[in-house]
Amino acid sequence: MAWIKRNLFFVIGGILALGMLGWAGYYNYKGWSHNQTALKQLTDIQNTLRGLTTKKPSWGDEVKKIDNIKTAKEQERELLDWIQRAGDYFKPIAPIPDTNAVSSADFAGALRRTIDQMQRDAEDIRVALPPRYAFSFTVQTTLVKFDPASLRLLAEQLGEVKAIAAVLFAARVNTLDGIQRVRVSADDATAAQADYFEGHSETNDLAVLTPYQITFRSFTTEVAEVLSRFASSPHGFIVKGIVVQPAGAFTGGGGDVGAPGSMPPSSMGGPGLMPPPGPGAAPGTMPPPGKGGLKTVLNEQLLRVTLVVEVVKVLPKK
């Protein structure tokens, strides 16, 4: 005891040093144990990944009667069947003329014949057209030489316009006021606005989408028929916007009611679509019945319809 009293500070210092050494040893052991646990987890993950990269998918389980190979083949067959059915609605529209290298002479002759044929088709089924209507190719009908870079695009548009007109003629609309397309050549840039739609084609990973604007007049039955025929067409037609109003409610700024391109831009369904009629252009209410006779149940009005239709052209498989 006397020695401890004489060396009290030394004893206290020794005890503190031993305590700190013990704590340091415990801390090191805890760290080592944690590192070992982490190393074991990392090793297990590496082994699992290595096993997955070298192991083939399991074919199934005989006990549970699971056959993954058979199931995968059935799902693949269902997917191929669905692709086949969907392909029936996205068949390409043949360009006019349908040749690999389109010359100015080939396109000029095909354009004249195609426009004449569409005009005769409209006359045969009594669909009214604007005078000497060229189906949005007015400027091209006056030319004999075209920009070689635009000939293929013009041939594609001519084929698509003919397909669109065929839908309208089959539905027997009363009047085709106009089909408007996007500009694809230098000649289009200087032509009259009435033939053109202020849009552009878009290309994604699957297809090229080309918009057209169509204006026609008819009754509700023909409008429904047009929409039905676009939906069931073997070609990739998608109706992107529609505006319907009474045929007499829009004068296009003093011009002909049916003048194509006379509608102002609108945010409804894309550029170029005319806005819905205001309160002053609302359809008239049913007149009150007279004192005698039958009551008017339905008073059908001629409608002016503007559609924006996209033609979907599926890209070839890479």
Domains located in the chain, CATH noted: 87-267+301-314 (3.30.70.60)
pLDDT at residue 58, rounded to an integer: 61
Spatial separation of the C-alpha atoms in residues 136 and 186, rounded to whole Å: 15
| Token pair 């006379």: residue | 262
pLDDT along the chain (318 residues), means of 10: 67 74 74 80 79 61 68 85 74 90 92 96 95 94 90 95 96 96 90 86 88 95 95 91 84 39 39 44 48 60 94 82
Is 218 buried (19+), middle (13-18) or exposed (0-12) by CB count in 10 A?
buried
65 Ramachandran zone, left/alpha/beta (phi>0; psi -120 to 50)? left
pLDDT at residue 190, rounded to an integer: 81
For the chain, give the longest Cα–Cα distance: 137
Residue 99, SS3 per DSSP: coil
**β-strands 60-61, 207-218: how paired?**
unpaired
Spatial separation of the C-alpha atoms in residues 213 and 307, rounded to whole Å: 6
Helices (H), 55-141: 68-87, 104-124
| Token pair 């009908």: residue | 141
Write out the two tokens for 273. 């679509």
Cα–Cα distances (Å) from 73 to 80, 87, 100, in that order, read: 11, 21, 39
Write the DSSP symbol of residue 312: E
Spatial separation of the C-alpha atoms in residues 275 and 28, rounded to whole Å: 78
Spatial separation of the C-alpha atoms in residues 56 and 239, rounded to whole Å: 47
135 Ramachandran zone, left/alpha/beta (phi>0; psi -120 to 50)? left
pLDDT at residue 280, rounded to an integer: 40
Write out the two tokens for 219. 């009754």
184 CB-near residues (< 8 Å, 6+ apart)? 150, 153, 154, 157
CA–centroid distance for 207 within its chain? 9
- Give just the sign of the alpha carbon dihedral 140, 144, 150, 154: positive
pLDDT at residue 52, rounded to an integer: 58
Spatial separation of the C-alpha atoms in residues 185 and 169, rounded to whole Å: 28
| Token pair 């559609």: residue | 307
